[in-house]
Amino acid sequence: MENELKGLGIWKLNCSLLDDEEYVNNVTELIPIWIAEGRKELSDDCIVWDWLKYNIRAHACCSFFTKKSKGKK
C-alpha cells in the first residue's frame, strides 16, 4: 500500500473562465477543429470524446495561467 501511486485527481474547470467572452468564443471555434482532428486520427467516438475533454482542459489551464500571469482575472 505504501508504494501505490496516486493520480492527479479530478480536474475541475475554473468557472470564472465561462464569464470571459474571449475564452468562450475561442473554445467555441476550437471544438469543431478538435473533433475533426480526433475523428481523423482516432478510431472510437469514446476516445474522440476523451481527446476533446483533454484539449478543453489544456486550453482552460493555459488560458487561466496566462491571464493570471498578466495580472488579469
For the chain, the first-to-last Cα distance in angstroms comes to 41
Q: Of 44 and 7, which is predicted with more confidence?
A: 44
Residue 50 confidence (pLDDT): 92
> What would the pLDDT profile of 38-55 be if each residue is shown by its tens digit?
999 998 999 999 999 999
Between CA 3 and CA 12 the distance in angstroms is: 27
Q: For residue 3, is it left (φ>0), alpha (ψ between -120 and 50) or beta? A: alpha
> What would the pLDDT profile of 9-25 be if each residue is shown by its tens digit?
777 777 888 898 988 99
pLDDT at 72 over 60: no
The pTM score is 0.69
Residue 53 confidence (pLDDT): 92
Break the chain into its structural domains and give their ranges.
23-68
Cell numbers at residue 69, please?
500571469
